[in-house]
A and B are shown apart, each in its own frame.
Chain A
Amino acid sequence: MTTNHSRGFKLQDALFIGFCATLLVALKSMLRLKLGLAGHSMLLMSFFYLTCYCTVGRIGAITACGVMAGAVAAILGIGNGGPLIFMKFFAPALAMEIVLVLVQRFTNLRWRLVIVALAGTLAWAAKGLIEDLLVGMSWQVALARFSWKVLQGGIFAVVGALLVLPVVRRLKAHDLVHSESKLDQEL
């Protein structure tokens, strides 16, 4: 007997990652929300990254999505970070991926997603901290701004993470998620 297992991202997984990355950047550029609330961008970021992970069900999906989103944003000049815009998308993705590997065997899926989203927020706020220090801001002010960003970004990131499961369950009900991973059984 033989079994046909594939390795790496399948075409449909790669397309879905690209779709998430593109939609994330497109929404961010089109909406241009001037809410005056620091951290609201973490809502879209945590939602799309974690949807990507839950749908593809493989380690590496978030990083791939982050790289793609960062590259698209840098090429199209979305946002006001210049070339550093790449880091804005990539750093949270990488942090989320690393924490995901660490917490993979702990707690249920919902809490894992929340923890991973918070990790992404820390990375996103840390990027802001480095920028603040590079422009000469004092440690005290930079840390205060960092803490405030973590708090506000964390709230949005958790909301984004909590939206993931209902969406992915609906995708699964429509037979759009059929990876043979442990994650698939948890949904």
Chain B
Amino acid sequence: MRLIELDGVSFNFGSRQPWVFRDITFRLDSGSCHCITGPTGSGKSTLLQLLAGLQERPFEGGVFRRQGMLAGLVMQDPQVQLLRQTVGAEVAFALENLALTSEQMVPMVQRALRRVGLFVSLDCPINILSLGQKYRLMMAAQLVCNPQVLLLDEPWAQLDNLGVQELTMVIRGLVAEGIAVVMCEHNPAAFEEVVDHYWQLSDGVLMSGIYRTEKRIPLQAQAHSDDVIIEAEPFEYRFHGDAPLFACEQPLQVCAGELVTIYGNNGTGKSSLMKAIAGMQGNIAPLPLKVFGERPKVGHYGQRLGLLMQRPNRQLFENTVLDEVAFSLRRFGLPQEQAQALLEELGLGELAEQSPHKLSYGQQHLVALASLVCYQPQLLLLDDPLAGLDSEYFDRFCMMINRLRQQGTAVLLSSHRPLPHTPVSQQWQIADGLLLPSTCTQDAAYAY
């Protein structure tokens, strides 16, 4: 049964703006699962919004949408969709609008949360969930209404491996029930068990197949110095009044020039640890942690520390990409001409005059990173920086990190899964309430 059909649809963000896509044709039938691939910033998320009927800008072409059809969309940054304070209220929001009684709602909400593998109480405050858990929450909030179409924007980047497995099972069940699923992905292989149509959106053209690019620039192995930047005695990480989130039973040390990865499942405490190192996490028990020989304090380190947040739009505020990068330089009294040069070097020159707030999630990540790299901090904290990056943008990311490390910057990078083929000097795994550091020798690093 035909649910949505695009017939010769063209779209751009304004009359003088270039076309995001031109004359595309797409048909979505019930019980099918489509995966749209394409480079960062190619318009995949925009296409999903169009399919969901949320695109308010004018477009050309015909769009058929089955009458009474319900479509659920989970955006790349689920935070922008959250409306309520607690998990139960968030999932029940749509049901409340349908005037269901609370007796009817509770089992439906619980079932939706179980389907996406989010096992928290209905009273759990949303603000303590990790971004990956919020992604699951938004999926539950869509599934509770039994939509005929489910649209998912880059689920792999926001979910850990367990979450991807659970989502694969959920999608399989939905497809079997006749629900159509469309997802945008940079890693299409993760869902190959359930996807039956692959599309590639590139240069404004949508065609069958998987978009592939070659990754050319690896993260380089580097010798590091003995200058200690971070040191910590064994500790328990706990929020005030809560049980420990995780414990570290060994001392930690990070020296200048090191690349350390922190990986673990959604909600294990990676982002919280990053914020604690930056001195931004206020409601935690004091940690025996020193950064640059001092207890972490927000705003204390100035040019020495850079933090890339998991949601890059939280640290973008200027009107253009060029201004965004130039702001950091201006703040620390560095020559502002470097901003344009850095953008050109990163291949972002064409975005210089664009608003950073309108860029794709991956592009925002890279712009936010450029605004940190430009002032060459001695310690760079990257909270899940690879979300939304295709191979080409990952190359640019590697270029920046390599350059910084050559200058002695220590880099801490968090991710849902260990980075393959990456010559890291240490890996910190957070699992089962324990932070387990492991050191990789240079030989092991080169052996990848």
Give A contacts to B, CB under 8 Å.
1-5, 10, 12, 169-170, 172-175, 178, 180, 184-185
Residues in chain A near residue B57, CB distance under 8 A: 178
A180 B355 Cβ-Cβ under 8 A: no
Residues in chain B near residue A3, CB distance under 8 A: 58-60
In B338-361, the 8 Å CB interface with A consists of 355-358
Contact of B18 with A by CB under 8 A:
no
Residues in chain A near residue B358, CB distance under 8 A: 173, 175
CB-CB under 8 A for A173 and B320, given A2-B61, A3-B60, A5-B58: yes
Complex Cα gap A175–B8 (Å): 26
B14 A180 Cβ-Cβ under 8 A: yes
Complex Cα gap A4–B13 (Å): 14
A185 B15 Cβ-Cβ under 8 A: yes
Complex Cα gap A3–B9 (Å): 10
CB-CB under 8 A for A2 and B62, given A173-B355, A173-B357: yes
A170 B319 Cβ-Cβ under 8 A: yes
Chain B contact surface mostly:
loop
Give the 3 A-B CB pairs with smallest separation, nearest first. A173-B355, A173-B319, A174-B357
Complex Cα gap A88–B16 (Å): 40
Residues in chain A near residue B318, CB distance under 8 A: 173
Complex Cα gap A170–B356 (Å): 11
Per-residue 0/1 for B1-28: is the Cβ within 8 Å of any A Cβ (1 yes, 0 no)? 0000000100001111000000000000
Chain B interface size, under 10 / 10 to 19 / 20 to 34 / 35 or more: 10 to 19
A2 B16 Cβ-Cβ under 8 A: no
Closest to B356 in A: A173
Per-residue 0/1 for B360-388: is the Cβ within 8 Å of any A Cβ (1 yes, 0 no)? 00000000000000000000000000000
Name B15's contact: one of A170, A173, A175, A180 (CB within 8 Å).
Answer: A180
Residues in chain B near residue A175, CB distance under 8 A: 355, 357-358
Residues in chain B near residue A2, CB distance under 8 A: 60-62
B8 A1 Cβ-Cβ under 8 A: yes
A180 B61 Cβ-Cβ under 8 A: no
A4 B58 Cβ-Cβ under 8 A: yes
B319 A1 Cβ-Cβ under 8 A: no
Complex Cα gap A173–B60 (Å): 24
Residues in chain B near residue A170, CB distance under 8 A: 319
In B32-62, the 8 Å CB interface with A consists of 56-62
